[in-house]
Structure 1
Amino acid sequence: MENPFTGVVVRATGSWYDVLHDGTTLRCRIRGRLRLRGSRATNPVVVGDRVTCETDANGDHTITDIAPRRNYVIRRASNLSRESHIIAANLDQALLLVTLRQPATAAEFVDRFLVTCEAYKVPVVILLSKSDLQVPEALRSFRAVYEGIGYRVEEVSAATGQGVETVRELLRGRTTLLSGNSGVGKSTLVRAIDPGLDIRTGEISESHRKGRHTTTFSTMYPLAQGGAVIDTPGIKGFGLLEIDAAELWHYFPEMMRTGRGCRFYNCTHTHEPGCAVVEAVRSGEIALSRYESYLKILDEDEKYRK
Structure 2
Amino acid sequence: MQATVYRSTGSWYILKNDKGEFLNARLKGKLKIKGITSTNPIAVGDVVELDEDAEEDSFVISKIYDRKNYINRVSPHNKNLHHIVASNLDQSLLFATLKDPKTSFGFIDRFLVTSEAYKVPAIIVFNKCDLYTDDEQQKFEAAQQRYEAIGYKIMKMSIQQKIGIDAVKNLLANKITLLSGHSGVGKSTFINEVFPELLLRTQEVSDWSGKGLHTTTFAEMFDLPTGGSIIDTPGIREMGLVDVPQHELAQYFPEMRAVMNNCKFNDCVHYNEPGCAVKAAVNDGVISEERYTSYLTIKDTIEDKLY
TM-score range relative to shorter protein: over 0.9
- SS in structure 2 of the partner of residue 171 of structure 1: coil
Equivalent residues of 1:165, 1:193 under 8 A apart: no
Structural mapping, 1:187-266, within 5 Å:
187-266=188-267
CA distance in 2, matches of 1:145, 1:247: 22
> Structure 1 regions of 5+ residues with no counterpart?
none
CA distance in 2, matches of 1:304, 1:130: 40
CA shift, 1:207, in A, is 0.5
CA distance in 1, matches of 2:6, 2:150: 33
Equivalent residues of 1:116, 1:240 under 8 A apart: yes
AA at the equivalent of 1:284: G
- Give deviations 1:97-145, integer Å, cap 9, x for gaps: 1111111111111111111111111111111111111222111011011
2:65 aligned with 1:45: no
Equivalent residues of 1:239, 1:301 under 8 A apart: no
- Give deviations 1:174-203, integer Å, cap 9, x for gaps: 110000111111111111123233322111
Paired residue for 2:5, among 9, 12, 23? 9
AA at the equivalent of 1:53: L
Q: 1:249 to 1:131 in 2, by over 3 A?
A: same
CA distance in 2, matches of 1:301, 1:31: 35
> Structure 2 regions of 5+ residues with no counterpart?
none
CA distance in 1, matches of 2:288, 2:185: 24
CA shift, 1:13, in A, is 0.8
AA at the equivalent of 2:259: T
Paired residue for 1:132, among 130, 133, 146? 130
- Using structure 2 for the length normalisation, give the TM-score: 0.94
- Larger helix share, 1 or 2: 1
CA distance in 1, matches of 2:90, 2:67: 12
Q: 1:305 to 1:158 in 2, by over 3 A?
A: farther
- SS in structure 2 of the partner of residue 116 of structure 1: helix
2:106 aligned with 1:108: yes
CA distance in 1, matches of 2:190, 2:306: 36
Equivalent residues of 1:249, 1:255 under 8 A apart: yes
CA distance in 2, matches of 1:34, 1:63: 8
Structural mapping, 1:1-306, within 5 Å:
5-21=1-17, 22-35=19-32, 39-58=36-55, 59-78=57-76, 81-134=79-132, 135-302=136-303
CA shift, 1:282, in A, is 2.8
Equivalent residues of 1:127, 1:156 under 8 A apart: yes
- Using structure 1 for the length normalisation, give the TM-score: 0.94
User: Which stretch of the first structure deviates more once superposed, 97-106 or 65-74?
Assistant: 97-106
CA distance in 2, matches of 1:93, 1:289: 25
- SS in structure 2 of the partner of residue 34 of structure 1: coil
AA at the equivalent of 1:19: L
CA shift, 1:81, in A, is 2.0
- Give deviations 1:223-277, integer Å, cap 9, x for gaps: 1222111000000111111122211100100011122332222211011012121
- SS in structure 1 of the partner of residue 6 of structure 2: strand
Q: 1:143 to 1:48 in 2, by over 3 A?
A: same
- Give deviations 1:149-170, integer Å, cap 9, x for gaps: 1101010111111111111111
CA distance in 2, matches of 1:223, 1:38: 32
Q: 1:53 to 1:178 in 2, by over 3 A?
A: same
CA distance in 1, matches of 2:144, 2:232: 24
Equivalent residues of 1:82, 1:304 under 8 A apart: no
CA distance in 2, matches of 1:258, 1:179: 30
Equivalent residues of 1:250, 1:256 under 8 A apart: yes
CA distance in 2, matches of 1:79, 1:60: 30
Aligned length: 302
AA at the equivalent of 1:283: D
AA at the equivalent of 2:114: T
CA shift, 1:91, in A, is 0.4
CA distance in 2, matches of 1:204, 1:304: 39
AA at the equivalent of 1:302: E
